[in-house]
Amino acid sequence: MSSTGRRQNVAPPVGVPNDLDAFWVPFTPNRAFKRAPRLIARAKDMHYFTPDGRAVLDGVAGLWCTNAGHNRDPIVAAIQNQAAELDYAPAFQFAHPKSFELASRIAALTPGDLNRVFFCNSGSEAVDTALKIALAYHHVRGEASRTRLIGRERGYHGVGFGGISVGGIVANRRHFGTLLAGVDHLPATYSREHQAFTKGEPEWGAHLADELERLVALHDASTIAAVIVEPMAGSTGVLPPPKGYLQKLRAICDRHGILLIFDEVITGFGRLGFAFAAERYGVTPDMITFAKGITSGAVPMGGVIARDGIYEAFMRGPEHVVELSHGYTYSAHPLACAAGLATLDLYRDERLFERAKKLEPHWADAAMALKGTPGVLDIRTVGLTAGIDLASRPDAFGKRAYEAMERAFHDHGLMVRITGETLALSPPLIVSEAQIGEIFDKLARVIKAVM
Ligand SMILES: Cc1ncc(COP(=O)(O)O)c(C=O)c1O
């Protein structure tokens, strides 16, 4: 150790202990996890395998991302070949061919004139990118007073400062200061009283979009740049949009010159039975953020798809000058682009989005069969997702769901995700009807065990 207390290594250290201490596990209660770690060593198709070879059925597509299933051969081969051919090309002032190819393929999947794709490396970066494009768009058009951003309570938009500012999950916000100035929030769209045990989009709740008119009246449209919502709020526990809600938001944004951003980091690439939720709901936003399913989770990638008019608004001024001063070293990384192209091929060739659509009724019935299980307060389904709310233990919010996740993994060979007291499910789109049965059979046993 030096006088500053730092180790001075002149060579890579040898004999470093291989234990659980050094890694600070993200979004995880580290002490509980390290007492009984849930370790995963490999994966194939619908299954994970623990280091001792135990199979675990993947009920959540990793983290809502491995939509094509795990370690699919064409994606693995594409990554291997790309690594051997071109490891990296500078993301600024230079580009490689696959980035253009992938952008075109993504644009072809979107509705309307959502044709311009900006790449980054995660959902959080995608959200910050979209918010920055919205602010800059109004600026270059001479409406620089439009600086206010509107999110929604219970919204999740990743963990960047932009994302947590427009996000509405208090645990993700309360430790991090005052966040971005000038942000306001719409109310969440969920009401157990009016919506419990609904399959798909609930009838009640479209009127909550009118709250945007209230915010416009309060702040004035001339100060508002954009509204960002998840078409289906996933991370907060699967909240499908009320019927007509997104259409109303679109109409209000149009009336007041406000950009509408759909955060499709979860809903993109087939999760709701369509390439994007925008298509399912027949509502075209001004920008879509995506990540996760673009590479089926195999290589980090995210991005923003913007309407032609947004891109074109920036294409002015001297041609040698950068139009949007934004980007990441690893934007459109060659490995991610190769993985993305192979993933889109798989989605197309195996018709996986259609498959999700066809499976939705069966999936919803299987989930709803848990209704009546003691301690189950609500079940929501849409596309290949489900949220199951459990009753809390007295004075220990979230403990029952945590135990359910532990037991599912250790005792029943099932991976589920939890948020608060909600169990969330979103299997790879290759899931079979038999595996859907297996997921909910296991879950019924897990829920009984923690009651
Ligand atoms: C809607 C939404 N936006 C953004 C993110 C953040 O993505 P990432 O974790 O890749 O930064 C997520 C992650 O779950 C998400 O669900």
The model's pLDDT over 77-135, given as tens digits with 9 standing for 90+, comes to 999 999 999 999 999 999 999 999 999 999 999 999 999 999 999 999 999 999 999 99
Is pLDDT above 60 for 2? no
CA of 64 from ligand 1 middle (Å) equals 9
Strand 148-152 relative to strand 224-229, pairing: parallel
Give the position, in ligand 1's atom list, of the atom nearest the Cα of 292.
10
Nearest CA to ligand 1 atom 3: 157
pLDDT digits (tens, 9 = 90+) for 156-182: 999 999 999 999 999 999 999 999 999
CA of 79 from ligand 1 middle (Å) equals 23
Residues across the chain: 451
Exposure class string for 324-345: b at 16+ Cβ within 10 A, else e:
eeeebebbbbbbbbbbbbbbbe
Between 97-107 and 334-349, two packed helices, what is the crossing angle to 10 degrees?
A: 40
Give the position, in ligand 1's atom list, of the atom nearest the Cα of 263.
1
- Tokens 């993700």, located at residue: 172
Give the position, in ligand 1's atom list, of the atom nearest the Cα of 264.
1
pTM of the full structure: 0.97
CA of 265 from ligand 1 middle (Å) equals 6
Q: Write down the pLDDT at residue 8.
A: 62
Mean pLDDT along residues 265-279: 98
CA of 349 from ligand 1 middle (Å) equals 27
Mutate to test the pocket of ligand 1, among 27, 28, 157, 236 (most ligand atoms within 8 A of CB): 157
DSSP label of 255: H
Is pLDDT above 60 for 420? yes
Is pLDDT above 90 for 13? no
CA of 129 from ligand 1 middle (Å) equals 13
Protein residues with CB under 6 Å of any ligand 1 atom: 122-124, 127, 156-158, 230, 234-235, 263, 265-266, 291
Nearest CA to ligand 1 atom 12: 158
- Decide which of 112 and 395 is more confident: 112
Residue 161 is inside which H or E element, if any? Answer: helix 161-166
Nearest CA to ligand 1 atom 7: 123
Both tokens assigned to 212: 């945007």
Residue 239 is inside which H or E element, if any? Answer: none
CA of 126 from ligand 1 middle (Å) equals 9
- Tokens 């580290």, located at residue: 30
Strand 422-425 relative to strand 385-390, pairing: antiparallel
Averaged pLDDT of the chain: 96
Nearest to 347 by CA among 418, 273, 424, 238: 273
pLDDT digits (tens, 9 = 90+) for 207-249: 999 999 999 999 999 999 999 999 999 999 999 999 999 999 9
CA of 213 from ligand 1 middle (Å) equals 27
Give the position, in ligand 1's atom list, of the atom nearest the Cα of 234.
16
